[in-house]
Chains A and B, each alone.
Chain A
Amino acid sequence: MSATETFYDVIRRQGITRRNFTKFCSLTAASMGLGATGASQVAQALETNPRVPVIWMHGLECTCCSESFIRSAHPLVKDVVLSMISLDYDDTIMAAAGHQAEAILQETREKYKGKYILAVEGNPPLNEDGMFCIDGGRPFVERLKEMAADSMAVIAWGACASWGCVQAAKPNPTQATPIDKVITDKPIIKVPGCPPIAEVMTGVITFINTFGKLPALDRQGRPLMFYSQRIHDKCYRRPHFDAGQFVEEWDDENAKKGFCLYKMGCKGPTTYNACSTVRWNDGVSFPIQSGHGCIGCSEDGFWDKGPFYERLSTIHQFGIEANADKVGLVATAGVAAGIAVHAAVTAAGRIGVKHGKAPGPDASQDLSQGR
């Protein structure tokens, strides 16, 4: 677990040829969209940079991020975990357990102060002093703050760490809180999704490992290379949207033809993720390709922006089952009725009034009160 060992040292020890190594560098550079010199940069970095120590902690979560991560195909997760990074601690997949495992945390903190990456899956609940998530006998929030204090940067894996996800959905009884609201003094990369795409996860790690810096982030703290466009922008069903061809019912002919799922509540137009380009499970498919709309799982508070199967979000402040259109129609009906009644009362008052009669009292006196 020596951090002075480079990625190149490790793979050569594993019997991978120089030829295959350069192939990997070219592929990785291409997948990250780097220029012509990208491959040699990747090779240079992997040959000389010490492997980045990574601590992977788990708060309130369902482990779907880990499940996704281990399915990465480009690069293979085994290459990432065993070769590219030095995954010093991940209680879900590490061999050590109990006090041995806990000791690694302290060791990494001291040995690689300010140099390790803290990857967090899940988030800390803050209610009742964090008692809703106990990890190693202590509230998770305490351990998180402790490990974050000496880290180089924090990766917030998934919707939980980035936004709060299901445990932070209304009414959020445990006060589950996203990482960036708890750790405010470290650079944080949000890699949202429930879970995030495997290749996006390993891609982020590869980038940090290769360039020794964090990828360019957007306003929300998400890596631009994977989260700068919406599902809708790169959706292969987009032509049907522009044409006005929609699925109207789940079992209709249009669904069979693969028309746009916009009317079925697809959140593709408001969701930033790489599903429509990278896809899932080694590029096999993604929700829309499988005939189901996007539920917007990589967006802030997506559980509270439902229903998943309607275009307009429910507005809870206006009571059960209200959305912008229903609120608007009720308000319009109210105002229209108000106008009608007001007009009727006005008209009734006019009955018998002769036109040309002085409309007001002495006007010259009254004008002074106005402008």
Chain B
Amino acid sequence: MDYAKIADISELKGQAVVARRTVYVYQAPVRIWHWVNAACMTVLFISGYLIATPPGSLGGEASAHFQMGYIRFAHFAAGQTMAVFFLMRFIWTFVGNAASKQLFWVPLWKKNFWDGLLNEAKWYAFMVKYPRQYVGHNPLAHMMMFFVFTLGTVFMICTGFAMYSEGAGQDSLWAKAFGWVFSIFPNSQDVHTYHHLGLWVLCLFAAVHVYAAVREDIMSRQSMISSMISGERQFRDDKV
């Protein structure tokens, strides 16, 4: 070990670790999208819940307040931002590296995928000692990402813009682009109900996502959280 290269100015010397392999996996557009999306989702969860269950009624003149207006504005602004970034994220799959494509397809036909999925499930069920290493998502995460996050987000974008078009008017661009939602659910109340259920689905996704990221960061044989900040994934192995 070449300690000479480490300028340790303190008396405290950490436990000796080994040199580790690092790969560049999450390119800048992916990372920027991830954190913008996380911020948007947070705003959307809170404002969305408040739209369905508004805060306590305000008194005085109506002209003195604009509470629901601001809540709805926050929801619409965050929704529009999220949708634009989601679109850009999708376009990036045609430009970016292999890991950037994982969000939009799942190799369900590959035996290797199912084998990895089973192993990862066992890892979460405490049935195997070590998880496998993956440059991008592990098969279980990959599956969750696509079927819950990606499809869920597409559903929320479509139903969200469809409801937005109701206020924007039937001649609006939004109505032309997303009015078809009302061909599937003729009653807007249903669209509201499903959109609201979608809030909870994505909220649960976020909870599981954060838990898994933190746990994997500690337990797995590779870095997690810092990877989404620096873009670099570090593998923790004894041998290189």
Task: Give residues in A with beta carbon < 8 Å to B.
Answer: 163, 218-220, 224, 228-230, 233, 239-248, 254, 259, 262-263, 267, 269-272, 296, 299-302, 305, 311-313, 315, 323-325, 327-328, 331-332, 335-336, 339, 342-343, 345-346, 349-350, 355-356, 358-364, 366-367, 369-371
Contact = CB atoms under 8 A, between A and B. Distances in A.
Contact of A324 (B136, B200, B236): B200
A328 B134 contact: no
For the complex of A and B, the 10 pairs showing the least CB-CB separation, nearest first, are A244-B67, A328-B200, A363-B237, A270-B188, A243-B65, A324-B196, A300-B186, A370-B134, A300-B187, A360-B130
19 contacts: A230-B166, A240-B62, A242-B68, A242-B69, A244-B58, A324-B193, A324-B199, A327-B197, A331-B200, A336-B207, A343-B211, A356-B17, A363-B238, A366-B133, A367-B235, A370-B133, A370-B135, A371-B98, A371-B136
Which of A224, A240, A302 has its CB near the most chain B CB atoms (within 10 A)? A240
A370 B67 CA distance: 51
Nearest to A221: B186
Given A228-B170, A244-B58, A312-B193, A370 B219 contact: no
B171 to A, nearest CB: 9
Interface stretch (B49-57, B78-86, B87-95): B49-57
A219 B183 contact: yes
B42 to A, nearest CB: 15
Contacts of B59: 245
B53 A349 contact: no
A369 B187 contact: no
A362 B134 CA distance: 15
Contact of B190 (A243, A305, A360): A305
A371 B57 contact: no
Which of A228, A342, A364, A371 has its CB near the most chain B CB atoms (within 10 A)? A371
Contacts of A361: 130
B160 interface: no
B197 to A, nearest CB: 5
B10 interface: no
A362 B235 CA distance: 12
Contacts of B134: 370-371
B188 A299 contact: yes
B203 interface: yes
A244 B65 contact: yes
Contacts of B65: 243-245
Contact of B236 (A218, A272, A359): A359
Contact of B203 (A163, A301, A332, A343): A332
Which of B64, B207, B240 has its CB near the most chain A CB atoms (within 10 A)? B207
Given A243-B68, A371-B135, A363 B17 contact: no
Given A219-B179, A242-B66, A312-B52, A346 B197 contact: no
A243 B58 contact: yes
A369 B54 contact: no
B207 A332 contact: yes
A248 B57 contact: yes
Contacts of A324: 52, 193, 196-197, 199-200
Nearest to B182: A219
B221 A312 contact: no
Contacts of A229: 169
A107 to B, nearest CB: 37
B215 interface: yes
A299 B237 CA distance: 62
Contacts of A239: 62-63
A299 B235 contact: no
A302 B186 CA distance: 11
Given A243-B65, A267-B189, A270-B188, A358 B183 contact: no
A124 to B, nearest CB: 19
Contacts of A312: 52, 193, 196
B220 to A, nearest CB: 8
A245 B58 contact: yes
Nearest to A262: B54
Contacts of A163: 186
A139 B207 CA distance: 56
Contact of A305 (B99, B189, B203): B189
B192 interface: yes
Contact of B16 (A259, A325, A343, A356): A356
B239 interface: yes
Which of A220, A242, A296 has its CB near the most chain B CB atoms (within 10 A)? A242
B67 A364 contact: no
A86 B136 CA distance: 73
B189 A299 contact: yes
Contacts of B180: 219
